Structure 1
Amino acid sequence: MTQGTSLAAKVAWITGGGSGIGLAGAIELARAGCRVVISGRDEAKLQAAIESAVAQGAPRGAIRPAVLDVADKDAVAATAQAITREFGGVDILVNSAGVNYPKRYWKETDAATFERVVAINLNGAAYCTLAVVAGMRARGQGTVINVASFAGWHLSFLTGPAYTASKAGMIALTHSFNIEEGVNGLRATALCPGEAATPILKLRPVEPSDADKARMLQEPDLGRTIRFIAEMPPHVCINELVIAPVFNRIYAGGAEFVRR
């Protein structure tokens, strides 16, 4: 039987690591033995996230903070260089930084809002990947996990044009990476979660009820999924992984999912 990849001493860089899916991934990768760097725009939030991770079983000292706005390509390059100087390179990149806004639909959004969503969700993922791919290629191995969305895989009304387009773009970004870099031993996964009970729900035009949130994917579900992808043997590429709650409101419908 083929054995999975040991993550002991691997270096993982997770953007959007201060909460939600990114933090859940950081916890699981740290538990697996990775040295983890989490990025986000708020230093206090990152420090609180690290304490939360330790409380949930991550070894103290395994997760480090790196304040960063992924929409700033120069700052991304500088952060990647700093990680490389300290740890020797990035083995696992998790592009989890993402945002959406309540005023998200064509009738009410604007160019500045659209630009900000794409700048963080899509361009930020591209900047971070560009910052680490040469090092991965030189070592002949590396994993990129792009936290896309069910919304980019199955189009619906709910998320609005900017978010939908940015997440569909992340899926395309993933496939283009594999087309070019698979021959160099590198791999990427488009992780496409359905509704998940994470802090981004507070930015919905209508925040789901507690009962609805309880039936969604939970943060630890997606942390384990990120670890599963990272632990695949080096010859295995999971091109897309679509994961959704059993009670999938995107299929079932409801007031939030239809045009108003």
Structure 2
Amino acid sequence: MAIRFAAEGYAVALSARSEGGINDLAARIRADGGDAAAFPLDVIDRDGVVKSSREIADWRNGIAVLCNNAGLNTSHRRWDDIDFAEWDAIIGTNLTGAMNVIAATLPIMRAAGGGVMIHTSSWAGRFHAPLGGVPYGASKHALTSLSASLNAMEGVNGIRSTALCPGDVATPLLLRRPGYDPAAAARAIQPADMADLALAVARMNPHVAIHEIVLAPVQSDHR
């Protein structure tokens, strides 16, 4: 998403816990003629998120588009092997972390008269998906609901919100799913597909709110 938005002329603020990774990506974008800067943060650090949001807004005079992507999962996905510490971490990142980012960004977008929030939810955030796991599915259903609440309450401020609910996307998170066949990654949704979709949402008529988009790889197995 960062590379795609930068290629279309957006100034891209990159945030993640892995400072080295976002520094490298920002340098790559700048080398290609884009505008990017790194703002390390952990979404579960509420005060840190507020501080970083203000720094980002000061960097390029506001935040027009938020791509809320932080997420994690676990190999313990069934009720009979629930790990409570992992449950807390998943809910903390996928839900509370997303809420922290939303809450920190809302005042900036309100002051500017609007903005777009794009949240990476999941097919498991729209339908029960056993392979996604109990804690992951619960966190993503809640994230989809958070997105809907923004459209209900913040449209008056010109703020629109979209939950992207993809099936399998070829990312490292998918490759860590128990029993997943890496060869199937070529048939999954690609990160570039998600980037194109997010860009289309960001460019939508400002009088239109796309509440959610559900997508999945084509089902080609007819057995």
- Alignment TM class, shorter chain as reference: over 0.9
Q: Is 1:236 the equivalent of 2:177?
A: no
Shift of residue 29, structure 1, vs aligned partner: 1.0
Aligned to 1:29: 5
Q: Is 1:38 the equivalent of 2:46?
A: no
Kindly indicate whether the alpha-carbon contact (under 8 Å) linking 1:41 and 1:67 is maintained by their aligned counterparts in 2: yes
| Residues in 2 aligned to 1:222 and 1:194: alpha-carbon distance in whole angstroms | 11
Shift of residue 163, structure 1, vs aligned partner: 0.5
Q: Is 1:223 the equivalent of 2:195?
A: yes
| Residues in 2 aligned to 1:105 and 1:134: alpha-carbon distance in whole angstroms | 39
SS of alignment partner, residue 218 of structure 2: coil
2:61 to 65, 88, 102: 88
| Residues in 1 aligned to 2:22 and 2:76: alpha-carbon distance in whole angstroms | 27
Relative to 1, partners in 2 of residues 1:88 and 1:64: Cα closer, same or farther, differing over 3 Å? Answer: same
SS of alignment partner, residue 107 of structure 1: helix
| Residues in 2 aligned to 1:88 and 1:192: alpha-carbon distance in whole angstroms | 30
| Residues in 1 aligned to 2:131 and 2:173: alpha-carbon distance in whole angstroms | 13
TM-score normalised by the chain length of structure 2: 0.93
SS of alignment partner, residue 67 of structure 1: coil
Kindly indicate whether the alpha-carbon contact (under 8 Å) linking 2:5 and 2:199 is maintained by their aligned counterparts in 1: yes
Kindly indicate whether the alpha-carbon contact (under 8 Å) linking 1:90 and 1:136 is maintained by their aligned counterparts in 2: yes
Residue type at the aligned position of 1:38: L
Relative to 1, partners in 2 of residues 1:204 and 1:131: Cα closer, same or farther, differing over 3 Å? Answer: same
SS of alignment partner, residue 98 of structure 1: coil
Structure 2: any 5+ residue segments left out of the alignment? none
SS of alignment partner, residue 155 of structure 1: coil
Relative to 1, partners in 2 of residues 1:201 and 1:122: Cα closer, same or farther, differing over 3 Å? Answer: same
Aligned to 1:135: 108
- Provide, for residues 4-44 of structure 1, a one-character-per-residue CA deviation record: whole Å limited to 9, x for no partner: xxxxxxxxxxxxxxxxxxxxx11111111111111111111
| Residues in 2 aligned to 1:104 and 1:51: alpha-carbon distance in whole angstroms | 37
SS of alignment partner, residue 13 of structure 2: strand
TM-score normalised by the chain length of structure 1: 0.81
- Provide, for residues 44-99 of structure 1, a one-character-per-residue CA deviation record: whole Å limited to 9, x for no partner: 121233355568xx534x12111111011111111111112222221111101111
* Greater relative contact order structure (CA < 8 Å, 6+ sep): 1
Aligned to 2:92: 119
- Provide, for residues 144-185 of structure 1, a one-character-per-residue CA deviation record: whole Å limited to 9, x for no partner: 001100111111210111100110011100110010011221
- Provide, for residues 213-234 of structure 1, a one-character-per-residue CA deviation record: whole Å limited to 9, x for no partner: 1110011111100100001111
Alignment of 1:1-260 (within 5 A): 25-51=1-27, 53=29, 59-60=33-34, 62-210=35-183, 212-247=184-219
Figure out how many residues of one structure are paired with residues of the other and give that number.
Answer: 223
What is the alpha-carbon root mean square deviation over aligned residues?
Answer: 1.9
Structure 1: any 5+ residue segments left out of the alignment? 1-24, 254-260
Residue type at the aligned position of 2:196: R
| Residues in 1 aligned to 2:194 and 2:174: alpha-carbon distance in whole angstroms | 16
Residue type at the aligned position of 1:59: G
Residue type at the aligned position of 2:33: P
| Residues in 2 aligned to 1:118 and 1:40: alpha-carbon distance in whole angstroms | 17
Kindly indicate whether the alpha-carbon contact (under 8 Å) linking 1:201 and 1:208 is maintained by their aligned counterparts in 2: no
